[in-house]
Copies of this chain bind each other. A is one copy, B any other.
């Protein structure tokens, strides 16, 4: 049985299908609970959340499900960007400020203090699973979480990063292939070498670490889940497939862009946040492409574009939004998240009964 493995037993879930902890309001309590209630693992994307917001999100989710769910956090980076660089970036962004009638921002970055408080909330609220993006937290934090019996999931975009996750004591690791939508989880490898396709990344990570491996990137249906299983993964993490779910909090123009994708329209860009991320190509990305390598680093650039993205979302101007999406966006469906999990499980059973080979 494909679903009886280390991932389902460690997470005490029925099916090794994890909804990615997409940040920025996508992972409503309704979405997270629907996935967990259907037997997968829902995840609150806490990347940009304050302590209070995270507490609220966890409590609301608990009211909708008694099943396990997770919280995804961003490991913070200490970044210092000179004032002049921020001014230069704001100058570049002027046409967008003008068009959308928003004021330029000053940077107020995601700090280590916020991260510490998120960890405190996760422990206090007894969330059973915590996953990390953009790096590996300190030994102290890992030790604290583990002493509370919280399962830890790391993210790797290369074999080397997977090994670092294992050494740090993660319980399992997501192998994030280059097909994946949203931010690359890369933290210890050059961008050029870390854009590794799922088909190549998964079996090599499986060969290297003894942790259970969760495949991510380009997986939208039973075919993708079975292929990941054949490659040695014991679970999958899916983002784009859940972003268009009815319960998802993604802005309507974002959902629409994914649902109408005709395929091969995503690119990797640093224009929105200062860090490489995959989304549907639009005017904003094209406009900033020439300057992309001289923008302030993440998370500073992310803060500078925040009001632009927000206004564009409200004004239905998808050409200025970060339309994060994976390379298989054209396989997305408008469906309830619970129904999607059910359908995946059904389709796998059908394929399993036929001799697929």
Q: Closest CB-CB distance, A243 to chain B, in whole Å?
A: 15
Please report the C-alpha to C-alpha distance between residue A1 and residue B223 in the assembled complex, in whole angstroms.
18
Binds B, one of A45-53, A84-92, A261-269, A296-304: A261-269
Known: A230-B230, A231-B223. A200 touches B265 (CB 8 A): no
Inter-chain contact B218/A227, CB cutoff 8 Å:
no
Each complex incorporates copies of this chain amounting to 2
Please report the C-alpha to C-alpha distance between residue A12 and residue B31 in the assembled complex, in whole angstroms.
50
Residues of B near A328 (CB, < 8 A) are 199-200, 203-204
Residues of B near A200 (CB, < 8 A) are 179, 198, 217-218, 326-328
Residues of B near A203 (CB, < 8 A) are 220-221, 223-224, 328, 331
Contact partner of A2 (CB less than 8 A), chosen from B198, B265, B267, B357, is B357
Interface size class of A (residues with CB under 8 A): 35 or more
Question: Which A200-259 residues sit within 8 Å CB-CB of chain B?
Answer: 200-201, 203-204, 207-208, 217-221, 223-224, 226-232
Question: Which of A228, A230, A266, A326: most chain B CB closer than 10 A?
Answer: A230
Inter-chain contact A264/B193, CB cutoff 8 Å:
yes
Known: A177-B199, A328-B200. A159 touches B264 (CB 8 A): yes
Residues of B near A177 (CB, < 8 A) are 197, 199
Q: Which residues of A contact B (CB under 8 A)?
A: 1-2, 158-160, 177-179, 189, 192-201, 203-204, 207-208, 217-221, 223-224, 226-232, 262-268, 281, 326-328, 330-331, 348, 351-352, 356-357
